[in-house]
Structure 1
Amino acid sequence: MSSILIVDSDGKALSVMQRKLRRNFETHIALGPRCALQRIREEGPYALVMAEFSMPEMDGVDFLAEVGRLSPESARVLMSRTPMDVANLVRAINEGKVHHVLSASCEDEALIGVVQEGVNRYKSVSASIENMQEVHAIFAKAVHELVCWLRGDVRGVISPMLPLLRDLGQKTGNPRPTVTETALLLSIIGLIVLPPALLEKIVQGGSLSDEELLALAGHPERAVEWVRHLPQLREVADVLRDYANALHLSLLPETAEPLERPALSMEGALLSMVMEYRLGEYARLETAGIVDRMRRGTVYSKAQVKALETVLMAFDQDEVEIGLDRLEPGMVLSRAVIGTRDDAEVVMVPEGYELSRTTIVFLRQSARHGQVREPFFVRKLSVIPQAGNDTA
């Protein structure tokens, strides 16, 4: 059942409206616009938000305009107990982006019909947004794969961060997991711009100068330069900027921090956390030490650091031995795949890499040429048990 929010400064009117709609919809009420905006921030989005025009604290048009900024996909309906003049009706359309204006005394059938139409619109818009985000994610994965095979020195940097990012996002209630993952995948564009010597130093866990830290922290911004020309990726570009800001604040010493701290989105903070953890892994630091450093800092909230700590404690590092024919996209290598080229051993795919269809095809082709041999070792957590198979 779709969830709607009814807003009015009159408690009795709220109760009446809720009784009319609760048989057909999951109804929530908020006494006044301030309370409603807080509910939308904490519990939204709602499929539809309905508000009374004549509220003393903030009129319905101004309130619904703010709803549009917080939750643009939500349908918006304006109710009025008194006739509205033309000027306010124009405001409702132009500023509040209201989909319907109804008299509070309208027939129940008309009311239910308008609400149902708004809910249907929300479902359609949400499905379109979700589908578009999935398309963007597929595009980002393709770009990531291409860059990885063109530049082997960045192959193992991003992919091992994906499982941790997903688990951390679930634990913290990240509202835009697909957008966040897309931003992480596309950030590889910024990594390949870094000097190869700096990348090598990062992977080897070397100590970085302030200048090198600044370059590393700015790599998501370099990716923004590439995606900002694509209007469909505007959300991703915003997350990449937040990611860069969070890294800057976290990695650089106090003297190098900006004078004014930007407000960071959850997505940007989570991306920075998983990158900071990855850097700690490269430096061979203990997990407790990495988490403690984040806790002592001022970039991440206590809840975010606690969530990371919980996820890392539950992160199952046990491995499963598996054959080539059972490799599936999404599995994460617990050991690097070592192969031979020109009679020398080389790392074909690094530890922690999340397998894609392209990578599996590459491994199969390499196996046919005798360049890699079974078995492979993947993280137990990334293996989906199949009927009749025991992966324990």
Structure 2
Amino acid sequence: MSVPRKILFVDDEQNILDSYRASLRRRFSVETALGPEEGLEKIVKSGPYAVVVSDLKMPKMDGVTFLNKVQELSPDTVRIMLTGHADLDSAIAAVNEGSVFRFLTKPSHIDEMVRTLTVAVKQYSLVVAERELLRGTLRGSIKVLMDILSLVNPEAFGRSERVRRLAGFLGQSLSLAQPLHLDLAAMLCQLGCVTLPETVLQKVLKGEDLSPEEKQIFDMHPSITVGMLSNIPRMEKVTEIILHMQDSLAVNPTQPVESRVLRLCLDYDLLVQQGMEKQDAIDALRAREGVYDPKMVTVLEKGTAGEEGYVRREIALSELRVGMLLDEDLWSLDEVYIMVDGTEITEAALIRISNFAKTKRLPDRIRVKVPVEQVA
């Protein structure tokens, strides 16, 4: 049985709040807050609320300001404003600016209130369902695709897995409102590399200079990725992040914050994979004035580069488990390149290793990063 969606009424008059609760409690899960300060406190401590209904005229903080703060704290919450006839212009402006879903004039008939709340709850359910689709079905499908591509091109797609972990660390540290978009963009950011000639990709990974023609080819891979993803619904924000992930902040001051994170993580990973020590890589990035957000570089420097929660171990190949990370490239003893350093061990990766073990000689032991929860 599903839990009823909660609705919060906010007003500075207790008798009005009591009236809402009495008339609507049989149809909805109703809570009340006496004034905007108490309303914000309830949203933080008792949320999420499907719908917040606020009076326009309240002391200290008007309804428009209050609902804007609600939007910042709980973006999915549907916001409704109650207003008198004299304040219609303010209410209409709030709706047009996107901070309010609908407004009702006071006094509002109970039937009209019920209809409006019913529509608002449905709207909230749609928003939540769409987010769950991105988090569950779409994210899972993309993860399967990336696992397959990492077996075909371990260097490019093993890199995307490392960058994804870095980006997740930074996104959490920066308290991004929608970390899922960044996660999907990090997973997919190397998709366009499937079109690159192997010689160009190797030059990039080794830090070698590209010819003008090669640079032009490489610079096109984000737009190629965007083209590949253009037919997938609900990916507009993700493709925007990828499209601008090679911008520099000085050239594009409006570069999306997720794109800034992705650019920093990609460049940091490249320097580390080329043999730089982590602090040297941070110093090199900081020296590139105008390219990155300096605050993000500082966060990356102070953090653990996305590796927190792991311990390094050298284990037998037979001890590999899902969730571990390779801490070195995996080669067969007859020099077949199998997986890149940093690859997350998945079910598909275990199958690939098992198949190689049956047909080719593999090393007995390998260095890995083990999640702390798997450490005996």
Normalised by the size of structure 2, how large is the TM-score? Answer: 0.73
Quote the Cα distance in structure 2 between the aligned partners of 1:90 and 1:63.
16
Deviations 1:76-108 (A, max 9, x none): 2120133788x9999988886965544455699
* 2:161 paired residue number: 159
Which residue type is aligned with residue 352 of structure 1?
A: G
Quote the Cα distance in structure 2 between the aligned partners of 1:195 and 1:368.
31
Quote the Cα distance in structure 1 between the aligned partners of 2:132 and 2:34.
24
SS of equivalent to 2:268: helix
* 2:203 paired residue number: 201
Quote the Cα distance in structure 2 between the aligned partners of 1:27 and 1:373.
68
Displacement, 1:215?
A: 4.4
Aligned: 1:80 with 2:83: yes
Which residue of the other structure, out of 259, 266, 277, is the alignment partner of 2:268? 277
1:225–1:78 Cα change, 3 Å: same
Deviations 1:207-258 (A, max 9, x none): 3466655544442221001111222222211221232xxx2327xxxxxx85
Deviations 1:162-215 (A, max 9, x none): 222222221111222222121122222211222321111122232346665554
Judge which range, 114-123 or 326-335, deviates more.
114-123
Quote the Cα distance in structure 2 between the aligned partners of 1:235 and 1:269.
14
1:93–1:165 Cα change, 3 Å: closer
Judge which range, 139-148 or 101-110, deviates more.
101-110
Which residue of the other structure, out of 219, 222, 225, is the alignment partner of 1:223? 225
* 2:255 paired residue number: 264
1:92–1:200 Cα change, 3 Å: closer
1:89–1:273 Cα change, 3 Å: closer
Aligned: 1:339 with 2:332: yes
* 2:283 paired residue number: 292
Quote the Cα distance in structure 1 between the aligned partners of 2:339 and 2:129.
36
Give the 5 Å matches for 1:128-277.
128-208=130-210, 212-213=214-215, 215-243=217-245, 247-249=246-248, 258=251, 261-277=252-268
1:355–1:305 Cα change, 3 Å: same
* 1:360 paired residue number: 350
Which residue of the other structure, out of 350, 365, 368, is the alignment partner of 1:375? 365
Aligned: 1:384 with 2:368: no
Displacement, 1:282?
A: 3.3
Asked if 1 retains the 8 angstrom alpha-carbon contact of 2:168 and 2:179, the reply is yes
1:313–1:70 Cα change, 3 Å: closer
Judge which range, 104-113 or 221-230, deviates more.
104-113
Which residue of the other structure, out of 341, 355, 373, is the alignment partner of 1:351? 341
Quote the Cα distance in structure 2 between the aligned partners of 1:15 and 1:311.
48
Asked if 1 retains the 8 angstrom alpha-carbon contact of 2:151 and 2:339, the reply is no
Asked if 1 retains the 8 angstrom alpha-carbon contact of 2:83 and 2:106, the reply is yes
Quote the Cα distance in structure 2 between the aligned partners of 1:66 and 1:174.
16
Displacement, 1:138?
A: 1.7
Percent identical: 23
Output the aligned Cα RMSD.
4.7
SS of equivalent to 1:175: coil
Asked if 1 retains the 8 angstrom alpha-carbon contact of 2:53 and 2:79, the reply is yes
* 1:254 paired residue number: none
Q: Report the number of matched residues.
A: 352
Quote the Cα distance in structure 1 between the aligned partners of 2:33 and 2:147.
43
Asked if 2 retains the 8 angstrom alpha-carbon contact of 1:5 and 1:28, the reply is no
Which residue of the other structure, out of 297, 318, 328, is the alignment partner of 1:305? 297
Quote the Cα distance in structure 1 between the aligned partners of 2:316 and 2:163.
24
Asked if 2 retains the 8 angstrom alpha-carbon contact of 1:2 and 1:26, the reply is no
Displacement, 1:262?
A: 4.7
Quote the Cα distance in structure 1 between the aligned partners of 2:244 and 2:149.
23
1:27–1:308 Cα change, 3 Å: farther
1:133–1:372 Cα change, 3 Å: same
1:141–1:298 Cα change, 3 Å: same
Deviations 1:310-333 (A, max 9, x none): 223784575123345543333211
Normalised by the size of structure 1, how large is the TM-score? Answer: 0.70
Asked if 1 retains the 8 angstrom alpha-carbon contact of 2:36 and 2:66, the reply is no
Asked if 2 retains the 8 angstrom alpha-carbon contact of 1:176 and 1:267, the reply is no
Asked if 2 retains the 8 angstrom alpha-carbon contact of 1:331 and 1:383, the reply is no
Quote the Cα distance in structure 2 between the aligned partners of 1:330 and 1:68.
36
Asked if 1 retains the 8 angstrom alpha-carbon contact of 2:160 and 2:190, the reply is yes
Quote the Cα distance in structure 2 between the aligned partners of 1:375 and 1:18.
71
1:155–1:131 Cα change, 3 Å: closer
Unaligned runs of 5+ in 2: 22-29
* 1:327 paired residue number: 320
Deviations 1:243-291 (A, max 9, x none): 2xxx2327xxxxxx85xx2512221111111101012123323322322
Asked if 2 retains the 8 angstrom alpha-carbon contact of 1:161 and 1:278, the reply is yes
Quote the Cα distance in structure 1 between the aligned partners of 2:15 and 2:97.
25
Unaligned runs of 5+ in 1: 7-12, 31-35, 251-256
